[in-house]
Chains A and B, each alone.
Chain A
Amino acid sequence: MSDRLRGYALFASISLLLLVVAPLALPAFRLDELAKYLCFAIAALGIGLAWGQGGMLTLGQGVFFGLGGYAMAMYLKLHDAGGDLPDFMVWSGVEHLPALWKPFGNVGIALAAVVAVSVAIAVVLGVLVFRQRVRGAYFAILTQALAAAFVILLVGQQGLTGGTNGLTNFYDVFGRDPEAEGTQRTLYFVTAIVLGVLYLGARQLVKSRFGRLLVAVRDGEDRVRFLGYNPATVKTVTFAISAAMAGLAGALFVPVVGIISPSLLGVVPSLELVVAVAVGGRYALAGAVLGAVVMNYAKTSFSEQWAGGWLYLEGALFILVMTLAPKGAVGLYEQARDALARRRGVPAPAPTAPQEVAA
């Protein structure tokens, strides 16, 4: 029981760190960057759930991140335009507001769409794919192709989506100036709180009966099926939850950073998220969050020192982690403990059940 208490104490102290210490210690500009990392952490949490717990290697989370981001950006653009056409439509030669855009003038619909569109697409994809028992590398390739196709679609429809430019230049984020320090601070708190709530929610899910079923599906899908469960449903629901998280992350990213563009959603950014989760430790939700924050922080600070070098380091780090510490940074602790135990001649503890590793 004291372990559990200690766990809560740790969560509380991280919350304290993020909600009190960081806003006091960091200059406004760095706090804004931290908010960006937390947005990626939300998307990474979804990957941790789908991949780490459910074994679904999704290489296309950028699609859902983008759907959420564009839904939010479309609302902000329409709000700024105040009845006129958004600026990029004017340059692109569009004369009337496209029908697709009309619902996004309403803040309620736009916010609902952030989650709903991602979930709907994930469910449709999940039903089609998981019922056909497509899994493993085939599922990974499929999601990656989806990310590639989504980017081509966005770039090609310049009048509808802003093309390669994406959507940017928002003057008014829910009645506030997006570049003002107060607004950025508020956005940071919102992002941190959303991450905390989603983390706790995801933890509960993993601890629940559903979570055990999910891990069982990951480790022995056929056995689960023979026991009378439908793995397709379990996987579809999980995939939809991870899509919703990515959608929320995208929607928060837009006001935090001030832009959404196809370059954020394609194959490479989707892969970078997965790499971050792997480096942090995919079997633990905390590892996914940690990986996303640390990797993105490293990316920013590294590119300030050595432009262009980050990609090499990221690749090298990924290879190192995959070969030496497949459970990522968070798993290192357990690896080290097991190695120590072996040295002392104490038989290593029986292979830990995956759901316990996850905790």
Chain B
Amino acid sequence: MRKPFFRPLAVAALLPAALLTACGGESGDGANGGSGGNSGNTIKVGVLHSLSGTMAISEVTVKNSEMLAIEEINAKGGVLGKKLEAVTEDGASDWPTFAQKAQKLIKKDKVATVFGGWTSASRKAMLPVFERNKALLWYPVQYEGLESSPYIFYTGATTNQQIVPGLDYLKEKGKKKIYLVGSDYVFPRTANKIIKAYAKANGMEVLGEEYTPLGHTEYSTLVNKIGEAKPDAVFNTLNGDSNVAFFKQLKSAGFDAAKLPVMSVSIAEEEVKGIGVQNIAGQPVAWNYYQTTAGEQNAAFVKAFQAKHKGAVTSDPMEAGYNAVHLWAAAVTKAGSTDVEAVKKAAAGLSLDLPEGKVTIDGPTQHVHKTARIGVIQPDGLIKEVWSSKEPIKPDPYLKSYPWATGLS
């Protein structure tokens, strides 16, 4: 009894055939290319965040605030007389997926721009896609600097708007000996490189530098090491769940905010809820926006957001995402077109009053001028501003205006 040689292939042949016909229908989508998402009565914009996986908890909040901004713009009649249509994609906390979904948004959906990303890894994965396709990405999270892609607008802080002010604050408070704790990835490592250069130039001493894998939750050894080193303050670049374990174990070892201040740059209102306010109250953080930031714009933003999401807090990255949408819309209106090069040109020097105050886009770097704010975590989980730069700080992603930073990039 001889079996057909390749019979299983018969089944195999059917499915790809079905697949091809299914995809084939999309080829017509290319018809309205060119002007970038500006077709018919709507303008398509991409929203690309992790809606699943470990980053979802943070990124969904940014997605929500971006969607709020899109709705606000639509309620006022849209942009160039057309409504915005958001195409949402899931980056799934997976960097190659971000790159692929960015491709899909640009090439298939032909979106006018994309708002998205959170981790540096996702941005680094998307960067070549946007550069090669000459498409625009608005990235809403503070990051490690040393980057200035012509096809990315950075609405979060670069290092001289967050980490350097954080260090200035510690120095002002007379903290001379610091200990560095961070998750093992590109942001903490680069941040610590900058902190060490700053410390050297400002008479501060770095007593130790420790990295733990993302998601690490055992910090008793590290807490002991910190206890033995006796620093004046800790600079914390841990990310995500690790903060919960770190602050709990730090507190149970007897280190509270009064005894050992821990300056954090990745803990905002949303994260405070997860860590448990009892573990972290009184600790300083460095950002550019808090839910409590004064001003009419912010009051309206917080109110609108909480009307849609009951009991939710607003945080710095959420505000930066919200800003990104409004800044892009303003640039499109000014340019009179969604064409990427025209929007870039119109965006340079553009100024808007937004929840954090006046925000101006710096043309050459495509970062924004931002006010630095040091806050202290309150017992109710919100953050109270205790120090701010008098005016928005000009972005300097390569720290060129800081003599101590030469040789870092």
Asked if A and B bind, the verdict is yes
Q: Mask for B76-109, Cβ within 8 A of A = 1, else 0?
A: 0000000000001110111110011001100110
Separation of A352 and B30 alpha carbons in the complex (Å): 50
Given contacts A26-B20, A155-B213, A349-B1, contact A307 B88 (CB under 8 A): yes
Are A14 and B16 in contact, with the CB atoms below 8 A? yes
Question: Are the C-beta atoms of B26 and A27 separated by less than 8 Å?
Answer: yes
Let me know if B11 and A333 touch, CB within 8 A: yes
B92, B120, B144 — which one has the most chain A CB atoms within 10 A of its CB? B92
Query: What CA separation (Å) do A93 and B189 show in the bound complex?
Result: 8
A 317-354 binary contact with B (CB < 8 Å = 1; else 0): 00000000000011011000000000000000100100
Instruction: Check if A287 is an interface residue, CB within 8 A of chain B.
Output: yes
Residue in A closest to B146 when the chains form the complex, CB atoms: A91
Beta-carbon contact of A261 and B125 below 8 Å: yes
The distance in angstroms between the C-alpha atoms of A349 and B12, with both chains bound, is: 24
- Set B11, B129, B189: member contacting A329, Cβ < 8 A: B11
Would you call A313 an interface residue if the criterion is a C-beta within 8 Å of the partner chain's C-beta atoms?
no
Cβ-based interface call for B404 (8 A):
no
Q: Could you tell me if B12 and A258 are in contact, using CB atoms closer than 8 angstroms?
A: no
List chain B residues, Cβ under 8 A from A122. none
Chain A nearest Cβ from B23, distance in angstroms: 5
Please, how many angstroms separate the alpha-carbon atoms of A289 and B1 in the complex? 26
B9 touches A14 (CB 8 A): yes
Number of A interface residues in the complex (CB < 8 A) = 72
B184 proximal to A (CB < 8 A): yes
Q: How close is B1's CB to chain A, nearest CB, in angstroms?
A: 7
Q: Are A17 and B20 in contact (CB under 8 A)?
A: yes
When C-beta atoms are compared, the residue in chain A nearest to B106 turns out to be: A29
B: number of interface residues (CB 8 Å): 63
Q: Check if A166 sits within 8 Å of B121, measured CB to CB.
A: yes
Name the prevailing secondary structure of the A interface residues. helix
Flag whether B402 is at the interface (Cβ < 8 A).
no
Contact flag A155-B214 (CB < 8 Å), given A3-B2, A165-B95, A330-B12 = yes
A300 to B11 CA separation, bound complex (whole angstroms): 22
Q: How far is the CA of A168 from the CA of B147 in the complex (A)?
A: 15
**Is the beta-carbon distance between B11 and A156 smaller than 8 angstroms?**
no
Q: Report how far A186 CA is from B127 CA in the complex, Å.
A: 23
Task: Return chain A residues, CB-CB under 8 Å to B120.
Answer: 165
Are A152's CB and B186's CB within 8 A? no
B9 near A29: Cβ-Cβ < 8 Å: no
B5 and A29 contact, CB distance less than 8 A: no
- Assembled-state Cα–Cα distance A158/B12 (Å): 42
Chain B residues with CB below 8 A from A178, complex form: 128, 132
Min C-beta distance of B178 to chain A, whole Å = 18
Q: Which residues of A contact B94 (CB under 8 A)?
A: 263
B295 to chain A minimum Cβ distance, whole angstroms, is 34
Distance in angstroms between the alpha carbons of A308 and B89 in the assembled complex? 10
State whether B4 touches A6 (Cβ < 8 A): yes
Does any Cβ of B come within 8 Å of A208's Cβ? no
Greatest chain B CB density within 10 A among A4, A13, A290, A293 is at: A290
Q: Report the Cα distance A261→B124, complex, angstroms.
A: 11
Judge whether B189 and A92 touch: CB under 8 Å: yes
Q: CA separation between A31 and B6, bound complex, in Å? A: 26
**Complex partner residue of B103 from A25, A29, A294, CB under 8 angstroms:** A29
Most chain A beta-carbon contacts within 10 A, residue among B121, B129, B214: B121
Q: How far is the CA of A178 from the CA of B133 in the complex (A)?
A: 11
* A177 to B131 alpha-carbon distance, docked (Å): 12
Q: Is B52 an interface residue (CB 8 A)?
A: yes
| A11, B214: Cα distance in complex, Å | 46
Is the Cβ of B12 less than 8 Å from the Cβ of A286?
A: yes
**Chain B proximity of A172: nearest CB distance (Å):** 12
Contact A3 B3 (CB under 8 A): yes
CA distance A4 to B3 in the complex (A): 9
Contacts of A260 in B (CB 8 A): 96
Note all chain A residues with C-beta closer than 8 A to B213. 152, 155-156
Contact A4 B128 (CB under 8 A): no
* A56 to B11 alpha-carbon distance, docked (Å): 25
A-side contacts of B124, CB under 8 Å: 165, 168-169
Instruction: Determine if B51 is an interface residue (Cβ-Cβ < 8 Å).
Output: yes
Complex: how many Å from CA A72 to CA B145?
Answer: 28
Q: Which residues between 219 and 266 of chain A lie within 8 Å of chain B, taking CB atoms?
A: 257-261, 263-264
Contact A29:B133 (CB < 8 A) given known A3-B3, A11-B6, A166-B95: no
Contacts from A to B (Cβ < 8 Å):
3-4, 6-8, 10-11, 13-14, 17-18, 21-22, 25-30, 32-33, 36, 88, 90-93, 152, 155-156, 158, 163-166, 168-171, 177-179, 257-261, 263-264, 281, 284, 286-287, 289-290, 293-294, 297, 300, 303-304, 307-308, 311, 329-330, 332-333, 349, 352, 356, 359
Known contacts A14-B13, A165-B121, A166-B96; can you find 6 more A-B pairs with CB under 8 A?
A17-B13, A17-B16, A91-B144, A287-B8, A293-B15, A329-B11
12 inter-chain pairs at a CB distance below 8 angstroms, sorted by A residue, are: A3-B7, A11-B6, A27-B26, A29-B108, A155-B213, A165-B125, A179-B129, A258-B128, A263-B93, A263-B94, A293-B15, A300-B100
Ranked 7 nearest A-B pairs via Cβ: A7-B6, A7-B5, A179-B132, A308-B52, A307-B90, A3-B4, A29-B107
